[in-house]
Structure 1
Amino acid sequence: MNDITGDPREIATLLAIMARLRDPDGGCPWDLQQSFATIAPYTIEEAYEVADAIDRNDLGDLREELGDLLLQVVFHARMAQERGAFAFADVVAAICDKMLRRHPHVFAGASVDGVEAQTREWEAHKRRERDAAGEADTSALAGIARGLPEWQRALKLQQRAARVGFDWPGPEPVIAKLHEEIDEARVEFAAVAAAADDAQARDRLEDEIGDVLFVCANLARHARVDPGSALRRANAKFERRFRAMEALAAADGVSLSQLPLQAQDAYWERAKAAERA
């Protein structure tokens, strides 16, 4: 069996660094000022930077970003320890216990038939844990965190509903539904244009835009494509091409901001053509 213990010395050093930063007697003023709420956005940001390093296949950067993400765990654990709630060791113990408990096919001699079966068993374990904790919510959608990015929460809601059979049979009806939602959004755009100060019209438009995005997430799920990853790729592509547009315009001695849309579109097509080439 492979060794799964590791060397604790580096972790001990990191914990000592964080304790020193949070020491009221000579610690860092910025670190001392922080709370769970103020650090939470940084935790989310670091998780996305890990995902970005993975997308770029930059393993050196991934090492750095994983360290930054680990620091977030240590930071939260230190603040909890100061309140007498729990410490870093408790966090480690809890996740070790959970991983051993939820992988009986690895650590307890049980068997599981493939990845999909393991996913179902994982969810069953989570359900049993919620039941044991006395959770009153018995919905198939119970336990989906409200703090997730909304695209990710949409995906989880759809996955849970699909497990009880509430799902389209394939991508074609999802695409048809997407066209339907776009048509409904078009109607509400017209309503807002006709009555710009109508708050109800704007609310209806927001609802329809939300429906379009929700169906897009469902389409990604049927394609087995992560919508966050797909959007990151689209963002990267747009940024790459827009920067190329700016460079092409600058080479011609002009600024994009001074050009009409038709001329800007011409630079966009040139950027696309250069990328394909």
Structure 2
Amino acid sequence: MGDMVPRAVEILQMVDVIAAEDTRHSKRLMQHFNITTKLVAYHDHSNTAVIESLIQRIVAGENVALISDAGTPLVSDPGYRIVDAAQTAGVTVVPIPGASAVIAALSAAGLPSDRFVFEGFLNAKRAARLKQMQSLVDETRTLIFYEAPHRVLACLQDMMTVFGAEREVVMARELTKTFETIRRAPVSELCHWVEGDSNQQKGECVLLVRGAAKETGSDGEGRRVFDMLAEELSLKQAAALASKITGVKKNVLYQYGLDKKSAPAAE
């Protein structure tokens, strides 16, 4: 409740209606701040009629506020369709800055923050999750993900497989809540810590991954060429030829091939 900004309280008290992700959840917020404005449900599964009804109310002269259960609406939370419809209808959309787990985690992580990539939630299925991570392995900007508590350990283990055991990762859990935890360590160390403490597998998590060192760009090209050649050649032959093409050391590519071959199969 302490994260609520005064301007947001004022707006919620003065609008005609509040579109809330979960009205039952939001009632506690309303009661805490003595807000008596009417609540209507709006979430990812709301049909078009709900959106049209809200837009019609605005066109008729009413003010509508949009809130989510936590954080900022639209940032991995419901709201995109209604804001899109409002913009299309020529309705003025006014942001009320407030809590955002992405920015809160980044501000406390101690990782480079001048350039970063927010990827939202990774895929729940391991094969697709590994593919997403693999596409980002050479990204030099700080990577930020959201993860569900029941998948956070599996996600960290996949990060260790794809990014390497020494890649630095920050786990920011339950931000601004009673059991807030922020820990930065090599991903292998984080895996052991989370695996050994079931409390770290509860609550909402933000995972931040240090970007790849810029000099690894050539290595990334070497791996890409190696992967193509390895479909037809032995690891040794693929490593030798990819080394000639890209200039990446043969033994580095060969070790990459061995590591990839021994990695756990995607489920």
Give the TM-score range, shorter chain: under 0.3
Bigger relative contact order, structure 1 or 2, given CA contacts below 8 A and separation 6+?
A: 2
Q: Which has the higher helix share?
A: 1
Structure showing the higher strand proportion among its residues: 2
TM-score by length of 2: 0.24
Question: Which of these two proteins has the greater Rg computed from alpha carbons?
Answer: 1
